[in-house]
Amino acid sequence: MATDILTLEDVVAGYGKMTILHGTSFAVRRGAITTVIGPNGAGKSTVFKTVFGMLPARSGRILFDDAEITNMAPRELLARGISYVPQGRNIFPELSVRHNLELGAVMAPGGFDLSGRLEAAMDRFPVLRRKAAAQASTLSGGEQKMLEIARSLLLEPKLMLIDEPSIGLSPIMVNELFAILAELRGRGITVLLIEQNAKRALESSDHGIVLELGRTRIAETAEAILADPRIGQLFLGGGLVEKVPVIPGSPP
Amino acid sequence: MADFIQLLVAGLATGGIYALVAIGFTLLWQTSQTINFAQGEFVMLPAFFMLGAMSVLGLPFWGAVVVGILVAALVLGVLFKRLVVDPMLHHGVLPLAIATMALSLFLKEAVKDFYSAEAQPFPPLAADVNVSFLGAAVSLQSLIVVAIAIGAVVALQLFLNNTQTGRRMQATAQNPTVARILGIPVERMILLAFVINAVLAALASALVTPIYLAKFSNGEYLGIAAFIAAIVGGFNQVRGAILGGLLLGVVDNFAAAYLSAQYRAAIPLVLLIVVILFRPQGLLGRVEERTV
């Protein structure tokens, strides 16, 4: 088993005539938490959509578990062990909390113990048990995020893509969220995260990837990125383009 | 009192038919942003499938109804989706709506040319007798219409809420992107919504045609009434369409009896305007956020 679970090689993707990813390459270490950071428009969410088959890659390759998954449909990716929690609200507002949760198991393999898995999920997230029969729209923002995360864990994925989970959450919820991500890592689940709150996210991550204008600028350990003076500069405006040469070689 | 009950049952019978047709509007809107202006013709046409099944295949009435519903599911469900909606949908909501208007004209003219412009006799659902119901004499036909409409609505609700497929269909309607992310076969769910719409319309056809006889123009008023019912109840809610349909049928019958038969046709429009003014999302509708 390779140390990298997910690899992007020169991926080009975009919307209509607009190209967002101009040959993005990076690798994600198995069993770690990796955070993708970068200014607005760097292509962070586009990377996730492209990996998860929601947006076609125009060229390049994406590998998962050493097999090519470029432009595979979400159904196939779910069956292979990838799950995706997009930005914003991703619940079905008029279905009950329990029925929302259940929909995480659409691609369950034969012999899947649905009720057992639902029980386990509600044990881990007691609020979902308390409100199991309520309409999902009655949950608070933080509770909805918990529901989305619990739902995307139902099939025990190997890799979870989570886009900006902390947006709009209270500081207490944000702490709980990062505790959950650490717990997932403990269970051997690889987490690939996008966060606007870069500092907070990197402090809880093992690795960091800095995207700018659809290209990987830096791929390092989270610690090294936190200590890197260029990062502040990147987030305070001025890009890296003229100031720093592109790091040669392939990402670690 | 007896008058009141008579009118109520007659109103619920009309309303039940409106509701069946109005539900389809909400199903198609929710799953694929389709406003089907041929919906009335989707009710007019199956009666001719049924007449055909009786005259060509020699089937008894109820057998012909089943065949008519199946043919409708195929032609007005699957083929409508594949041949009209799929090619038009990516051009936007408006071009698709206009395409359905064209389809409406096409279906009306086709029936006129291939069948007849004259109203064709259609077998009654039951003998034309009155039965005693809560002290009033109401027509057996009306009671049967109410019973079948309620049965169909209950069956649909059970399917949507109590089966896995039904909930996946709801999920597709409420958030198609997330449905796809979770692996729900979104395309199949949308097709299913079209098939259900066609089945409900065909059922409404079997209920309404014995009253009006089979005629190419039957869908004109019915389509508008169901459209108004769906807006009044809430265009994005199945239960809104049910409420809107029943309300419209009952109000219609009471207004004709107690206010004025002359203004009968205006009543649904008054109801529509009042609801749009004070509750634009409809009585049970959910406010939809749209980015322009």
DSSP B198-255: HHHHHHHHHHHHHHH-B-TTTHHHHHHHHHHHHHHH-TT-HHHHHHHHHHHHHHHHHI
Average pLDDT, chain B: 91
For B44-72, the pLDDT digits (tens) are 999 999 999 999 999 999 999 999 999 99
| Residue at B282: amino acid letter | G
Taking residues B72-79, what's their average pLDDT?
96
Contact A92 B168 (CB under 8 A): no
Contact B178 A90 (CB under 8 A): yes
Contact B167 A107 (CB under 8 A): no
Q: Number of C-alpha atoms within 13 angstroms, CB side, residue B56?
A: 8
Which DSSP letter does residue B288 get? P
C-alpha A35/C-alpha B188 separation (Å) is: 36
Taking residues B68-87, what's their average pLDDT?
95
Contact A95 B177 (CB under 8 A): no
Taking residues B137-158, what's their average pLDDT?
92
**Contact predicate B182/A151, CB 8 Å:** yes
Give the residue from A72, A92, A99, A148 with the most B CB atoms within 10 Å of its CB, the best one to mutate: A92
For B165, other C-beta atoms within 10 Å of its C-beta total 14
Interface size between A and B, measured as CB pairs under 8 A: 54
Is a pLDDT exceeding 50 seen at residue B292? Answer: no
Taking residues B267-279, what's their average pLDDT?
90
Taking residues A104-129, what's their average pLDDT?
93
Is a pLDDT exceeding 50 seen at residue B291? Answer: no
Taking residues B99-105, what's their average pLDDT?
95
pLDDT at residue B97, as a whole number: 93
Structure tokens at B258: 């107690």
pLDDT bracket for residue A104 (50, 70, 90): very high
pLDDT at residue B237, as a whole number: 85
**ipTM score for this prediction:** 0.88
Which of A168-177, B112-121, B230-239, B259-268 has the weakest average pLDDT? B259-268
Nearest to A60 by CA among A118, A11, A25: A11
pLDDT bracket for residue B163 (50, 70, 90): very high
C-alpha B184/C-alpha B161 separation (Å) is: 16
pLDDT at residue B258, as a whole number: 85
Taking residues A103-114, what's their average pLDDT?
93
Taking residues B220-245, what's their average pLDDT?
92
pLDDT at residue A244, as a whole number: 52
The Cα of B23 is separated from the nearest Cα of chain A by a number of Å equal to: 17
Chain A residues whose beta carbon lies within 8 Å of the beta carbon of residue B180: 54, 74
Taking residues B147-167, what's their average pLDDT?
95
Q: CATH class for domain B2-278?
A: mainly alpha
**pTM score, two decimals?**
0.87
Taking residues B225-232, what's their average pLDDT?
94
Chain A residues whose beta carbon lies within 8 Å of the beta carbon of residue B171: 92, 95, 103
Taking residues A71-88, what's their average pLDDT?
96
Contact A107 B183 (CB under 8 A): yes
Chain A residues whose beta carbon lies within 8 Å of the beta carbon of residue B179: 92, 103
Residue for token digits 């929302």?
Answer: A100
Question: Closest-CA residue in chain B for A78?
Answer: B183
Interface of A with B in 76-105 (CB under 8 A): 78-79, 84, 86, 90-95, 99, 102-104
For A186-240, the pLDDT digits (tens) are 999 999 999 988 888 999 999 999 998 889 988 989 988 888 887 776 664 444 4
pLDDT at residue A70, as a whole number: 96
Beta strand B136-139 pairing with A33-37: unpaired
**Contact predicate A219/A207, CB 8 Å:** yes
For B212-221, the pLDDT digits (tens) are 889 998 899 9
Is a pLDDT exceeding 70 seen at residue A245? Answer: no
pLDDT bracket for residue B128 (50, 70, 90): confident
The strand pairing partners of A64, in sequence order, are A6, A67
Question: Closest-CA residue in chain A for B236?
Answer: A94
A67 or B292, which is more confident: A67
Where does residue A242 rank: exposed (0-12), middle (13-18), buried (19+ CB within 10 A)? Answer: exposed
Average pLDDT, chain A: 90
Give the residue from A45, A94, A100, A147 with the most B CB atoms within 10 Å of its CB, the best one to mutate: A94
pLDDT bracket for residue B247 (50, 70, 90): very high
